[in-house]
Amino acid sequence: MNEQEGKTTMIIATHRLSRRSVLAAGAAGAALLAAPAVVRAQAQPIRLGSLTPLTGAGGAYGPRMRDAIAAVVNEVNAAGGVRGRPLQLVTEDDQTSPEAAVRAARKLIDVDRVAAVMGTWASSVTTAVAPLCWENRVSLFTVSGADSITLLPHQGYIFRTQPNSRLQMRTVAKFAVDEGAQRIAWMGPQTPFAQSSIEEFQQVAQAANRPFTSLIYEADKATYRSEVDQILRARPDFIMFGGYTPDSIVLARDLFRAGYQGKVMAPAYAISARMLEALPHEVTQGAMVYEPWPEVASTAYSRLQRLLGSGVEVDPYTAQTYDHANLAVMALAIGGDGNGLAIKDNVRRISQGGGQSVDNAVDGLKAIVAGQKVDYTGASGPCDFTAEGDITGTKFRYQRVDKGAFQVMKIA
Amino acid sequence: MLAEVAQLLVNGIVTGTLLAVPAIGFTAIFAVLRFPNFAIASHCTIGAFAGYVANVTFGVPAAPALAFAFLVAGLFGLLTDEFVLKPMRPYGALTTAIAAIALTVVLENVVRFAFGNDLRGYDLPIFRDWRFWGIRLGPQQVENMALAVSVMAALFLFLKFSRTGKTMRAVADNPTLAAIKGIDADLVGRIVAFVGMGLAGVGGMLLGLDTSIDPLTGFRVVLSVFAAAVVGGLGSIPGAVVGALVVGVAEELSLLVVEPTYRSAVGFLAILIVLTLRPRGLLGEKAY
Amino acid sequence: MENYLVAIVTFAGIYALLAMGLNVSWGMTGLVNLGMAGFFALGAYASAILTVRTGAWIPLGFGLAAIVAALAGAALMGITRKLRGDYLAIITLGFSEFVRLVAANEIWLTRGSDGISGIPGPWRGELSPAQFNVLFCVIVLVLVAVAYVVCERLRDSPYGRVLRAVREDDTVAAVAGKAVDRYKLQAFAIGAGIMGVAGAAYGHYTSYIAPDIFRPLITIYIFLALTAGGVGNNRGAVVGAFLVMAILEGTRFLWDVVPGLAAVQKAALREIVIGVLLIVVMRLRPEGLLPEPVPKVLDKETTR
């Protein structure tokens, strides 16, 4: 029932059906069949589950997230697998619905017996599948924004690569003040982190003696003209967006039309390369974005970009799921039976605590087999985890849009 | 305060006008074929994507791209009605409506299969709004409104003066009588499926012009479309226009009294109030 | 594999409860309820809030779920009793979106979009996850059986005949001296109450509920289930629910059948297959797999 390595290769290679990829898949499949039966029987594959949103509201992110996981699986398999055991990626669609996601997770856990479920996006989906994961000793890697997730009684099985939302907002609010924001506003839809975002922004603004105003709107509307009017009555010169790309596009348009001249800032997953493509340059000019970033100049990020192809946008969620796969694979190599327990117990051994710095699982596996201690630095950050499974030590990369393209401002 | 209310009214009228186009499509199909065609969501999306292909891939300006959106969505409407919905109609309006829901799931995913989930924007300039006496209005909005109004005007002329239009109204008002007079109900059904869904496609593109499009474009607006058609009186074409304006304005004015997070709830409340007072909608159910 | 199958049967059982609830209002009485997700949500939230906040006995949660959903159903029907079916369809759809908005925004009550986690399940602490899975499956199947017996009783009783009379023509029923409004109200409330029980079952089984669960998608699935199974037939409701679940889950295993597609295309293809299969079922059996049996005795009220 599961995906074979050959098919995975071709899926990440191209988004459209191309004859070459079919041929490549056929060739890979043939090679697999030609391999001696004995070898296959000995090397029990380790299965990993991808549970990203391929349809529904998260659909704009999920496919690339899944492709990032597949890229790691292929690389590792091409290099001989994890201590001789090949990896098998099983993909399910969470449909951005907790109800559908629970059924999909059941299948991944009970039928495919995956060692890890990776890439859950919506906070509600993550919280819904989390109990299944910890009850069945399957590690769960997520990009979700709700801080409540790592507070669940998960016994160490959850790893969340999205930085704590309060910490993010505090950092970004300070950045806003440093950028000279005089009157600050926050606008976003109702999310698990809307209220905490507003509180953090308000605190920083108050401490710096800056007036602050906020507005929570209803997501997925075709226009926010009146909401924009309402927020502009406070005459802000710095507006923080709290939603995702569809809302941000509408907001950016409506702010421009209303004659807003001040600054705009958003997470990099909201003001994305897609958004810059979809809007005229003058609308996005000067908009700022931030995303979690590793301390050193990240080699993992450019490596991922190379793996996915230069035409594919590497958004923060894609970078994080790439890290999920690398972390899971290296943790499996440390020891254990190739199951979720092994991942849970070993992630921190390869993600932090010094040792040889690696930026991908293939190099990491070599070093681990050679008995070396490794410390993974990923595409989304240094990937160091607290006991609760939250990420620490992440820096942020700030970029500004100029003529429809991102220019790096700073990493701090 | 007065300027604020006036601004909300203007915003509501603009939104309502755009909403009116797909609402007319929905209500026209109901008038003739007597079932709520819930597949309208996916036809909005199909129109938006057809317009996108014309506008971005082939560089066609917005207005002619709109015609292309009409044609493609109309064609999908015609074919799916012929092969999926029509055979269901003898088994009741609701059975047909449920089949239309299954159909909309299929069509949404056909778009997803072909285009993926990535957001797309039309190739259009954006201008700063004009301001008159403290009230702002955008050139783009005026243009979209003009497009919507001309589509509606064309439709009214068609219904009023053309032979086909007159037969359509006859069938809608009294199918039995129309049959006695020898009107080909099948043909009229096909025309209304084409025109109705074509209008849905135009509506999807008009709404997309101001936002961005993805396979869920139709789903985001469809509740408001239903609301508009119901408020105006299901099956009444002028009613759909009035209903769309009422829903558009009510949602905007609601911002004066409730949190913006409850905007849709106000739309729902508006329907409830209107229907409590007038159980057949504002303009009743006469097609035209 | 067994755990998965048990879980799927449990979810199918919850769908069956929803489909039977829908059958009481729509199938038997002809009242379209596109607000199913809303009543499902009300039941789930009522039971979850009661048991999590006060530590109340879980069956009390189920009881409260039924009562809250039924009362909401009665209230909604009370307001909309004069409306024709098509209007009711859209009003109820709006109602379910309203419930979802409240669940997402009234954080003090519902914990907002974070959702409520850690909802207790019967003996969840004492049993292994696999044992709990089986136990809850049995509980849901018992609930389905009870609901089935109750609904069948209802259908065969004189009361059920009045409901059908209301469905066929409420003017005739009114002329025959039946308090049509009261019957409509009761039938809608009973249906909503069963949906509320399904919501409670969902929450106590998965231990987590959030506004996202109660989007219209689930209403669509249940409507398709009842239509495919046979509107007006309780056995059809159950069969339809299991059929829809089989289609939803079975299509997962098609992932590898078509090679050479991007992940998003495969996901889209899966949903296309789901939709097409349902359309095919409806085309082949427009009255459902198990059409409504013709009433044995046609009394004056049901003959027009």
For chain C, positions 3-32, list CB contacts with chain A under 8 A: 3-4, 7-8, 11
Q: Does A242 touch chain B (CB under 8 A)?
A: no
Nearest one of B221, B230, B236 to B272, comparing CA atoms: B230
What is the pLDDT at residue A27?
A: 47
Q: What does the pLDDT average to over B256-285?
A: 86
For chain C, positions 264-303, list CB contacts with chain A under 8 A: 264, 266-268, 270-271
HSE at residue B175, side-chain half, CA atoms within 13 A, is 10
Which residues does chain B have within 8 Å of residue A227's beta carbon, measured at their own beta carbons? 255, 260
DSSP B125-189: ---PPEEETTEEE-HHHHHHHHHHHHHHHHHHHHHHHSHHHHHHHHHHH-HHHHHHTT--HHHHH
Identify the H or E element spanning A398. Answer: strand A395-402
Interchain proximity C263–A135, CB inside 8 Å: no
Mapped onto helix, strand or coil, the DSSP state of residue B17 is helix
Is residue B266's pLDDT more than 90? no
What is the pLDDT at residue C302?
A: 43
For chain B, positions 88-107, list CB contacts with chain A under 8 A: none
Identify the H or E element spanning A384. Answer: strand A384-385
d(CA B8, CA A401): 32
Is residue C193's pLDDT more than 80? yes
Is residue C297's pLDDT more than 70? no
Which residues does chain A have within 8 Å of residue C113's beta carbon, measured at their own beta carbons? 123-124, 190-192, 194
Distances (CA, A) of B138 to B81, B135, B150, C238: 38, 10, 18, 54
Residue type for A67, please? Answer: D
Q: Crossing angle, helix A19-34 and helix A5-13, to 10 degrees?
A: 160
Regarding whether A221 and A114 lie in a shared domain, the answer is no
Regarding whether A198 and A158 lie in a shared domain, the answer is no
Q: Where are the beta strands (DSSP E) in A208-330?
A: 212-217, 238-241, 263-267, 288-293
Nearest one of B260, B203, B109, B116 to A243, comparing CA atoms: B260
pLDDT tens for each residue of A169-215: 999 999 999 999 999 999 999 999 999 999 999 999 999 999 999 99
Query: CA gyration radius for chain A?
Result: 22
Regarding whether A108 and A55 lie in a shared domain, the answer is yes
User: Cα A110 to chain center, whole Å?
Assistant: 25
For residues B60 and B218, the answer to whether their CB atoms sit within 8 Å is: no
Assigned domain for B55 exists: yes
What is the pLDDT at residue C296?
A: 52
Distances (CA, A) of C1 to A310, A335, C289: 40, 26, 28
Q: What total of structural domains would you count in chain B?
A: 1
Percent of chain A exceeding pLDDT 70 equals 89
d(CA B181, CA B34): 20
Regarding whether A238 and A356 lie in a shared domain, the answer is no
Interchain proximity A59–B136, CB inside 8 Å: no
Residue ranges of the alpha helices (H) in chain C? 2-22, 36-54, 58-80, 85-105, 107-110, 129-156, 158-168, 170-175, 180-206, 216-229, 234-250, 263-284
Positions in chain A short of pLDDT 70: 1-42, 296-297
Regarding whether A245 and A369 lie in a shared domain, the answer is no
Q: What does the pLDDT average to over C135-162?
A: 94
Regarding whether A98 and A139 lie in a shared domain, the answer is yes
pLDDT tens for each residue of B63-79: 899 999 999 999 999 99
Edge-to-edge strands of the sheet including A116-120? A87-93, A46-52, A116-120, A139-142, A158-160
Sign of the dihedral through C-alpha C176, C182, C183, C184: positive
Q: What does the pLDDT average to over C45-62?
A: 96
Mapped onto helix, strand or coil, the DSSP state of residue B38 is coil
Is residue C55's pLDDT more than 60? yes
What is the pLDDT at residue A8?
A: 41
Instruction: Provide the token pair at A64.
Output: 């690339």
> Taking CA atoms, what residue in A is nearest to C215?
A97
Regarding whether A386 and A245 lie in a shared domain, the answer is no
Which residues are CB-neighbours of B17 under 8 A, at least 6 positions away?
A: B144, B145, B148, B149, B244, B245, B248
Is residue B20's pLDDT more than 90? yes
Which residues does chain A have within 8 Å of residue B119's beta carbon, measured at their own beta carbons? 60, 245-246, 249, 274-275, 278
Interchain proximity B279–C90, CB inside 8 Å: no
What is the pLDDT at residue C178?
A: 76
Regarding whether A348 and A244 lie in a shared domain, the answer is no
Instruction: Provide the token pair at A14.
Output: 């191209």
Query: pLDDT confidence of B288, banded at 50, 70, 90?
Result: low
Q: Does C275 touch chain B (CB under 8 A)?
A: yes
d(CA B268, CA A110): 42
* Lowest-confidence segment of A337-351, B170-184, C141-155 by average pLDDT: B170-184
Regarding whether A143 and A95 lie in a shared domain, the answer is yes
Assigned domain for B145 exists: yes
Mapped onto helix, strand or coil, the DSSP state of residue A83 is coil
Interchain CB contacts (distance < 8 Å): A and C? 135
End-to-end C-alpha distance for chain C, whole angstroms: 53
Assigned domain for B229 exists: no
HSE at residue A44, side-chain half, CA atoms within 13 A, is 7
Q: What does the pLDDT average to over B215-244?
A: 92
Is residue B99's pLDDT more than 50? yes
Is residue C277's pLDDT more than 90? yes
Nearest one of B14, B255, B210, B201 to A222, comparing CA atoms: B210
pLDDT tens for each residue of C85-94: 788 888 899 9
Assigned domain for B239 exists: no
What is the pLDDT at residue A375?
A: 94
d(CA C150, CA C144): 10
Task: Report helix, strand and coil shares of chain A as percent, to nearest 5.
Answer: 45, 20, 35
Q: What total of structural domains would you count in chain A?
A: 2
Nearest one of A218, A175, A234 to A400, comparing CA atoms: A175
Is residue B183's pLDDT more than 90? no
Q: Does B234 touch chain C (CB under 8 A)?
A: yes
Which residues does chain C have within 8 Å of residue B109's beta carbon, measured at their own beta carbons? 268-269, 271-272, 275
Nearest one of A268, A218, A226 to A247, comparing CA atoms: A218
What is the pLDDT at residue C166?
A: 85
Is residue B268's pLDDT more than 50? yes
What is the pLDDT at residue C169?
A: 83
End-to-end C-alpha distance for chain A, whole angstroms: 45
Q: What is the 3-state secondary structure (H, E, C) of C57-71?
A: CHHHHHHHHHHHHHH
d(CA A82, CA A76): 7
* ipTM given for this complex: 0.93
Regarding whether A188 and A70 lie in a shared domain, the answer is no
Is residue C303's pLDDT more than 70? no
Q: What does the pLDDT average to over B208-236?
A: 91
Is residue C283's pLDDT more than 80? yes
Name the more confident of B138 and C8. Answer: C8
Nearest one of B4, B17, B6, B5 to B209, comparing CA atoms: B17
Mapped onto helix, strand or coil, the DSSP state of residue A338 is coil
For chain C, positions 60-79, list CB contacts with chain B under 8 A: 79
- State chain C's mean pLDDT as an integer: 91
For residues B22 and B200, the answer to whether their CB atoms sit within 8 Å is: yes
> Taking CA atoms, what residue in A is nearest to B264?
A218
d(CA B93, CA B96): 5
pLDDT tens for each residue of C226-271: 999 999 999 999 999 999 999 999 999 987 778 888 999 999 999 9
Is residue B175's pLDDT more than 90? no
Give the domain range for residue A38. 5-164+298-392
Which residues does chain C have within 8 Å of residue A128's beta carbon, measured at their own beta carbons? 115, 206, 208, 210, 213
DSSP A167-209: HHHHHHHHHHHHTT-SSEEEEEE--TTHHHHHHHHHHHHHHTT
Give the domain range for residue B207. 16-218
Q: Where are the beta strands (DSSP E) in chain B?
A: 130-132, 135-137
Regarding whether A60 and A156 lie in a shared domain, the answer is yes
Nearest one of A316, A405, A383 to A159, comparing CA atoms: A383
Regarding whether A145 and A16 lie in a shared domain, the answer is yes
CATH number for A20: 3.40.50.2300
Which residues are CB-neighbours of C116 under 8 A, at least 6 positions away?
A: C45, C48, C49, C52, C110, C203, C208, C209, C210
